[in-house]
Amino acid sequence: MAEQQAAILKPETLVEEFKKNGVTHVVTVPGSETNYLYELMRAQPWLDIIPAASEAQTFAIAFGLMIGKKVPICLIQNTGMLESGNSIRSHVLDSGWPFVFFVGYKGWTRHGATPESVARYTEPFLNAFGITYYLVEHDADGPRISLAFEEARAKNRPVAVLIGDEYHGFNR
């Protein structure tokens, strides 16, 4: 049980990774269970939180922030990502700038059977756009977030981080 607890993805780990990679703004539509992460982010004086009314907005707002040379990320859920295809195309693919966005992997079970269709379409959606992604499920996966930033900077492209721990990590 103790080992299981230690494996849980901690919101603090995400926030540390954001800081390490110079993130200035989080543009977000909350996912299913992100409230603790949201409160933690709001408590960071170096981080601006921008609540958006739709996921498509988050990518366009982030694009505007990047014009002003800030380092935004988007934090959304996979359901909203599916809604955001044209905004992703225009604002983060066509811009050709390094950019990382975080996607709550709703419905991800890791056990083969994936009853929620949104989970089944998540990775094919990213593949269709040619967006590479890193899966983060446990606290030990935290460094993969820095890998995503490194890849985005090296290739001047968007990179996604799929948060596959929807039901544990963000709410206490």
Under the rule (CB under 8 A), what is the footprint of other proteins?
25, 27, 48, 50-54, 56-57, 59-70, 72, 86-87, 89-91, 94, 96
> Is the torsion defined by CA of 86, 62, 127, 114 positive or negative?
negative
Helices (H), 69-111: 78-83, 85-87
Q: What is the DSSP secondary-structure string of 129-153?
A: TT--EEEE-BGGGTHHHHHHHHHHH
- Cβ nearer to other proteins, comparing 45 with 112: 45
Rg (CA), the chain: 15
- State the nearest-atom distance from the C-beta of 56 to other proteins, in Å: 6
What span, in angstroms and rounded, lies between the C-alpha atoms of 57 and 172?
A: 28
User: Which DSSP helix (H) or strand (E) runs through 31?
Assistant: none
Spell out a b/e string for 54-65, using b for 16 or more CB atoms within 10 Å of the CB, else e. ebbbbbbbbbeb
- State the nearest-atom distance from the C-beta of 35 to other proteins, in Å: 18
- State the nearest-atom distance from the C-beta of 124 to other proteins, in Å: 21
- Cβ nearer to other proteins, comparing 70 with 144: 70
**Contact assessment for residue 76 and residue 28, using Cβ atoms and an 8 Å cutoff:** yes
- Cβ nearer to other proteins, comparing 9 with 52: 52
- Cβ nearer to other proteins, comparing 60 with 119: 60
- Cβ nearer to other proteins, comparing 52 with 148: 52
- State the nearest-atom distance from the C-beta of 28 to other proteins, in Å: 11
